[in-house]
A and B are shown apart, each in its own frame.
Chain A
Amino acid sequence: MSKLRNVAVVAYSQAPFVPCDVHHTSTEMLYPEIRKALAACGVEREAIDYQVAGSADYVDGRVFGFVAAVDVMGSWPPKQDLHLEMDAGFAAHYAWMRMQAGDCDTAMVCGYGKPGEGETNRVLNLQLDPYYQGAMGLDLASTAALQASAYMKRSGSTDRNLAEVAARNRAAGAKNPDALLKDVATADELMRTSWQVEPLRRGYLAPTGETAVCLLLAAEGKAEKMCRKPVWIQGVDQRAELQSLGARDLARSEGAALASAKALEMAGVKGAAEVDLLELSALTPAEEMILLDALGLPPLGNRGPVVNPSGGPLAGSAIMMNGLVRLGEVFRQLSGTAANSVKDARRAIAHAAQGHCLQQNLFWVLGSERRWS
């Protein structure tokens, strides 16, 4: 692997995670988090060279809504700005690539969106083609159920296994003040919840809420001045799979396997088992198990690296920013500021996903040490 520029996460701020914030618009929720992230680094807005955001205008129904975010991002004098109609985790990847080009040293990555103002299932149906899959009325729960069935058949996993995975995430979420759901639920309790779409029960699906996040990246030389314990990006890769669900093997994720292998290779790490923790953007227990399987880890997440100490999306799903929240949670873990801290954690994986059934996967490997000398 050729030498790349060392870039670190230096700050992260998340707005309170609530079912629906009736007091603020999405950009009003975002503004204080940008200020907090800058304040954590002891810098003013002028210190940030590049800005990028990820969100989907369909979520809160404001056509060209992303330009409203430019207003609260401190975009004057005019800045280099980019918006992705994707999970903001992918926006962080673009910022990282931009910084590899070498003409900006610092970047602000924002995620925002208010699913409570619209009907999320109708919106996410539009991610599918309008002729066949979309026209059938498939939503996130039904496609996730198709995938869960396929995975359970292949792996022999049971309803109880899914409940155990959900319960572990809920228990972790209860220790995270930034989670949406903070009440513990046992596997037995979750197994008693009704079917949403069989084989997925209501208790196995990620509850949707509203928040806003800002994450700051800085290159070596500036990162050390902005943060006491910068968290260095050691490897990253993303892969997209086909939109057509029938064209994919839903029981596994080839894209996640390839992207994670490439990211680990860039980081010079032999395998996922060598990291201390993972933050995965899994919207169902089956998705988490498929991801762990793709990483070569035990699918139940009960042995090996700690899986989703933040509680993950199963303790609260922030549409279009789950991936950036995962990156932020890894920053908190490795910089020693996480509420549910994993002891002596020095290296971690963060994951972002986009589309139905893990269509697109992005993996980061982060650590306390610089990758390239």
Chain B
Amino acid sequence: MSEPPEEPIRYIDSTVYLPYDYVAGDLKAIYLRALKDKRILGSKCSKTGKVFVTPIPASPESFAPCNELVEVADTGVMTTFCVVNIPVIGRDLELPYVASSVALDGADISIFALIRNVKPEEARMGMRVRAVWKPDGERTGSHEDILYFEPTGEPDVPVERFLHRL
């Protein structure tokens, strides 16, 4: 009775299945819908005027509501970046590639973006980039509507101009 079995059961199979329907919420619904029209929206802090992309209901910094939606550009600056050399679950990209924080023109915080058409050794902070969108008729109102960002070829932005937006 107290002897362990010759072939012990080491594990039990217990698959946890939890389905969800994530509510986008009105704010994100408007934001996502605008992507379909190649427009990127942010929300503006009623106290400091800072613009947050993606839009959020309140500024974590000032605690004031951000109830005005404003359009920002689909161009911006690479504020910081890394070179990815190992595959990431769910992304089937040729290695290595550049992943970057991009501060869009008109936004006060950066978004995460894939950068293509640049050699990893040539990527640098301050590089100007632009969004490359899916063609008309193929955009669905999702983050997938922006395929990636690529260099614009414009002169680099000096670091002191985007230090506050890292």
* Residue positions of A touching B, CB distance < 8 A: 20-25, 27-28, 31, 45, 58, 60-62, 70-72, 74-76, 114, 116-119, 122-123, 126, 130-131, 134-135
The answer to whether A45 and B23 have CB atoms under 8 Å apart is: no
In the complex, which residues of chain B have a beta carbon less than 8 angstroms from the beta carbon of A76? 60-63
- A to B CB contacts below 8 Å, 28 in the list: A23-B25, A23-B26, A24-B26, A25-B23, A28-B25, A28-B57, A31-B57, A45-B63, A58-B18, A61-B18, A62-B22, A70-B60, A71-B56, A72-B58, A74-B60, A75-B60, A76-B63, A117-B21, A117-B22, A117-B23, A118-B18, A118-B19, A118-B20, A119-B19, A122-B17, A122-B18, A130-B12, A131-B12
Closest residue on chain A to residue B13 by CB atoms: A135
In the complex, which residues of chain A have a beta carbon less than 8 angstroms from the beta carbon of B56? 71
The answer to whether B25 and A71 have CB atoms under 8 Å apart is: no
Taking CB atoms and an 8 Å cut-off, the chain B residues in 8-43 that contact chain A are 12, 14, 16-23, 25-28
In the complex, which residues of chain B have a beta carbon less than 8 angstroms from the beta carbon of A119? 18-19
In the complex, which residues of chain A have a beta carbon less than 8 angstroms from the beta carbon of B28? 25
Q: What's the minimum C-beta distance from B39 to chain A, rounded to whole angstroms? A: 21
Majority SS of interface residues in chain B?
Answer: loop
CA distance A20 to B22 in the complex (A): 11
Closest residue on chain A to residue B14 by CB atoms: A130
From B16, B19, B23, A22 is in contact (CB under 8 Å) with B23
Closest residue on chain A to residue B17 by CB atoms: A122
Q: What's the minimum C-beta distance from B105 to chain A, rounded to whole angstroms? A: 24
Q: What's the minimum C-beta distance from B62 to chain A, rounded to whole angstroms? A: 8
The answer to whether B18 and A135 have CB atoms under 8 Å apart is: no
In the complex, which residues of chain A have a beta carbon less than 8 angstroms from the beta carbon of B18? 58, 61, 118-119, 122-123
CA distance A130 to B14 in the complex (A): 7
CA distance A232 to B99 in the complex (A): 54
Closest residue on chain A to residue B59 by CB atoms: A76
Closest residue on chain A to residue B16 by CB atoms: A126
> Contact flags (1/0) for B35-74 with A, using CB distance below 8 Å?
0000000000000000000001110111101000000000
Closest residue on chain B to residue A26 by CB atoms: B23
Size of interface on B: residues with Cβ below 8 Å to A: 22
In the complex, which residues of chain B have a beta carbon less than 8 angstroms from the beta carbon of A28? 25, 27, 57
The answer to whether A135 and B61 have CB atoms under 8 Å apart is: no
From A25, A31, A60, B20 is in contact (CB under 8 Å) with A60
Closest residue on chain A to residue B56 by CB atoms: A71
In the complex, which residues of chain A have a beta carbon less than 8 angstroms from the beta carbon of B22? 60-62, 117
CA distance A58 to B17 in the complex (A): 11
In the complex, which residues of chain B have a beta carbon less than 8 angstroms from the beta carbon of A24? 23, 25-26
CA distance A357 to B22 in the complex (A): 29
CA distance A15 to B63 in the complex (A): 18
Q: What's the minimum C-beta distance from A239 to chain B, rounded to whole angstroms? A: 29
Closest residue on chain A to residue B22 by CB atoms: A117
In the complex, which residues of chain A have a beta carbon less than 8 angstroms from the beta carbon of B27? 28
Q: What's the minimum C-beta distance from B43 to chain A, rounded to whole angstroms? A: 11
Q: Which 4 A-B pairs have the closest CB atoms?
A: A74-B63, A61-B20, A71-B60, A45-B63
Q: What's the minimum C-beta distance from B93 to chain A, rounded to whole angstroms? A: 23
CA distance A21 to B23 in the complex (A): 8
In the complex, which residues of chain B have a beta carbon less than 8 angstroms from the beta carbon of A25? 23, 25, 28
Given contacts A22-B23, A31-B57, A118-B21, list 4 more A-B pairs with CB under 8 A.
A72-B58, A117-B22, A118-B19, A119-B18
CA distance A144 to B23 in the complex (A): 30
CA distance A60 to B21 in the complex (A): 9
Q: What's the minimum C-beta distance from A260 to chain B, rounded to whole angstroms? A: 35
The answer to whether B60 and A72 have CB atoms under 8 Å apart is: yes
CA distance A131 to B12 in the complex (A): 7
From B12, B20, B58, A71 is in contact (CB under 8 Å) with B58
Closest residue on chain A to residue B27 by CB atoms: A28
In the complex, which residues of chain B have a beta carbon less than 8 angstroms from the beta carbon of A21? 23
In the complex, which residues of chain A have a beta carbon less than 8 angstroms from the beta carbon of B57? 27-28, 31, 72
Q: What's the minimum C-beta distance from A39 to chain B, rounded to whole angstroms? A: 12
Closest residue on chain A to residue B21 by CB atoms: A117
CA distance A76 to B59 in the complex (A): 9
Q: What's the minimum C-beta distance from B46 to chain A, rounded to whole angstroms? A: 12
The answer to whether B12 and A135 have CB atoms under 8 Å apart is: yes
CA distance A72 to B58 in the complex (A): 6
Which of A20, A74, A131 neighbours the largest number of chain B CB atoms within 10 Å of its CB?
Answer: A74
CA distance A60 to B16 in the complex (A): 15
Q: What's the minimum C-beta distance from A357 to chain B, rounded to whole angstroms? A: 22
Q: What's the minimum C-beta distance from B8 to chain A, rounded to whole angstroms? A: 15
CA distance A116 to B20 in the complex (A): 9
Closest residue on chain B to residue A122 by CB atoms: B18
